[in-house]
Amino acid sequence: MATVVAFHAHPDDEVLMTGGTLARAAAEGHRVVIVVATDGAMGAVGPGGSPRMGELRASAAVLGAARVVHLGYADSGNGPLLYPDPPDRVRFARAAPEEAAGRLAAILREERAEVLLSYDANGGYGHRDHVKVHEIGRHAAALAGVGQVLEATIPRQVVARTLKVVDRLKLPVRHDAVTPGTAYSAGSAITHRVNVRAYARQKQAALAAHRSQVNGPGRLAPVMRALIRLPAPVFGCVLGREWFIDATGTAPSTVLGVFEPAR
């Protein structure tokens, strides 16, 4: 039994990028801990905290995660402008790198983590919070002495095919934030992949737990609604594989019996 810590930017990212992997790791006996840099809220939150953290805890329970931790920062938003900090906490984009890495490193040490999941250098599609997760994740792993850092990503050719389907079907999905050729990672950079088709129902249910995002006005909401309505076997065919880059640069080998070499 090992401990896998998945470091994500916002609630719901844990499903979209690593949901099947986390479910599989937990099912195979590993301890899974989800850490989010932000609580997904743009403004101040009340005594009960951000509603999105409640959704994250529900998602984590479905995936089999043992613990959920908020690193303490506010969402930095998507637009070109970085809004002022809310009165109760700092936006993650403005977080002092040493402080943020120290907070994450403390969790990694406490959990005696053997594997840290983070994001690729592009932060996927370039969201400022996702890019910072990549930077802080690497730094924290070095501080805590975590030897295995696997960065979640998607092959660019898969992204390109998906966007073509979206356009041909004329789905009401904005994807202007995804720049072809620069978002996510080249297929040649991917070192590990995880077959998660057997965990399609869990991944789908975990996605549905993020009700505010599924039913909200966000750019991904139409896709999320469509995904949770799919029959589980079809969902598994669409989202049945997850990809990672080994940040150590060593020859890829099987990790924890879950992460298989991509080549």
For residue 169, name the pLDDT band (cuts at 50, 70, 90).
low
Asked if residue 259 is part of any domain, the answer here is no
Question: Minimal CA–CA distance to 183: which of 158, 164, 218, 219?
Answer: 158
Q: Kind and range of the H or E element at 127?
A: none
**The predicted structure's pLDDT at residue 68:** 98
If pLDDT is split at 50, 70 and 90, which confidence band does 220 have?
confident
Smallest Cα–Cα separation from 239: which of 208, 194, 209?
Answer: 194
Is the pLDDT at 177 greater than 60? The verdict is: no
- With H, G, I as helix, E, B as strand and everything else as coil, classify residue 197: helix
Quick check: 133 pLDDT over 70?
yes
Q: How far apart are the C-alpha atoms of 181 and 92, rounded to whole Å?
A: 27
Question: Whole-angstrom Cα distance, residue 149 to residue 2?
Answer: 14
Is residue 261 domain-resident?
no
Contact 235, 206 (CB under 8 A): no
Tokens of 97: 């790198």
Estimate to the nearest angstrom the gap between the alpha carbon of 195 and the chain centroid: 17
- Which tokens go with 13? 């990212």
Mean pLDDT of 54-63: 98
260 in a structural domain? no
CB-count exposure of residue 161 (10 Å: 0-12, 13-18, 19+): exposed
Q: How high is the pLDDT of residue 181? A: 72
Assess if residue 97 is contained within a domain: yes
Which of 41-50, 52-61, 111-120, 167-176 is least confident? 167-176
Angle, CA of 187, 6 and 18, to the nearest 5°: 45
Residues forming beta bridges with residue 98, ordered by sequence position: none
Percent of the chain with pLDDT over 70: 94
The CATH number given to whatever domain includes residue 177 is 3.40.50.10320
Range of the domain at 231: 3-248
Please give the tally of structural domains in the chain.
1
The verdict on residue 186 lying in a domain is: yes
Whether 263 maps to a domain, the answer reads: no
In a domain? residue 22: yes
Among residues 20, 35, 97, 103, the alpha carbon closest in space to that of 68 is found at 35
Greater model confidence, 117 or 250? 117
Q: Do the domain assignments include residue 257?
A: no
Q: What distance in Å separates the CA atoms of residue 164 and residue 166, rounded to the nearest whole number?
A: 5
